[in-house]
């Protein structure tokens, strides 16, 4: 955990955020509700994060195989943190990686919304600002996804969307990054 003070603004800042992609593994994806949309939005988030230099953490739940290849190919150089814990912060490697990042805001995407995503996000709330990307998380059942998003919102987490994340981090139009980001969202 960082000793830096949280910004009073609820808006995302690129110098204080990190993208966390949780357990987007091939073995689990076939049963995930709306998986194609989730994969597409995580690809957008990863491409955009790479474009602006936003750090990325990738986790993989033990015994569920490797990350989806469409996402994995975009994450060259990012070593996945393999864990058995549902709450990523219970994995010493994950907690250390977040702490060493010096970043106070987590942008969370992945599966399953009601298990690993929710437990990680709720745990993080005590020490971090947390944005859960609603159109980049899912579960096996739409009901569990909705319950998870509702619980996280009620607990004080920010529920956001892929485009909200992209445009908040951009901050303004007319830049080369803005032009590149438009290609992602169109």
- Name every residue whose Cβ is closer than 8 Å to that of residue 92 and which is 6 or more positions away in sequence: none
The reported pLDDT for the residue numbered 4 is: 53
- According to DSSP, the residues that pair with 133 across neighbouring strands are 160
Domain boundaries, the chain: 17-185
* Beta pairing class for 17-22 and 81-83: unpaired
Q: Among residues 16, 23, 87, 135, which one is catalytic?
A: 23
Q: Among residues 83, 87, 88, 135, which one is catalytic?
A: 83
The reported pLDDT for the residue numbered 23 is: 97
Q: Among residues 16, 87, 116, 135, which one is catalytic?
A: 116
The reported pLDDT for the residue numbered 10 is: 86
For residue 68, what are its two tokens? Answer: 């989806």
pLDDT along the chain (186 residues), means of 10: 59 94 96 97 97 96 93 95 97 96 96 98 96 98 98 96 96 89 88
| pTM of the model as a whole | 0.93
88 in catalytic set: no
Topology of the domain covering 17-185: Rossmann fold (3.40.50)
47 in catalytic set: no
116 in catalytic set: yes
What does the alpha-carbon distance between residue 43 and residue 50 come to, in Å, rounded to a whole number?
Answer: 11
């Amino acid at each position: 955990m960082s000793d830096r003070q949280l910004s009073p603004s609820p808006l995302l800042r690129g110098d204080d955020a990190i993208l966390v992609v949780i357990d987007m593994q091939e073995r689990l994806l076939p049963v995930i509700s709306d998986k194609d949309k989730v994969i597409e939005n995580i690809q957008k988030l990863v491409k955009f994060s790479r474009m602006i230099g936003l750090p990325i953490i990738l986790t993989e739940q033990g015994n569920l195989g490797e990350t989806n290849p469409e996402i994995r190919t975009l994450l060259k150089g990012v070593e996945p943190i393999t864990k058995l814990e549902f709450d990523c912060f219970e994995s010493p490697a994950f907690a250390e990686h977040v702490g060493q990042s010096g970043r106070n805001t987590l942008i969370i995407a992945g599966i399953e919304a009601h298990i690993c995503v929710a437990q990680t996000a709720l745990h993080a709330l005590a020490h971090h600002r947390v944005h859960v990307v609603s159109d980049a998380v899912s579960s096996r059942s739409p009901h569990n996804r909705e319950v998870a998003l509702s619980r996280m919102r009620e607990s004080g987490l920010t529920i956001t969307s892929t485009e909200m994340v992209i445009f908040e981090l951009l901050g303004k139009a007319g830049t080369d990054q803005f032009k590149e980001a438009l290609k992602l969202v169109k």
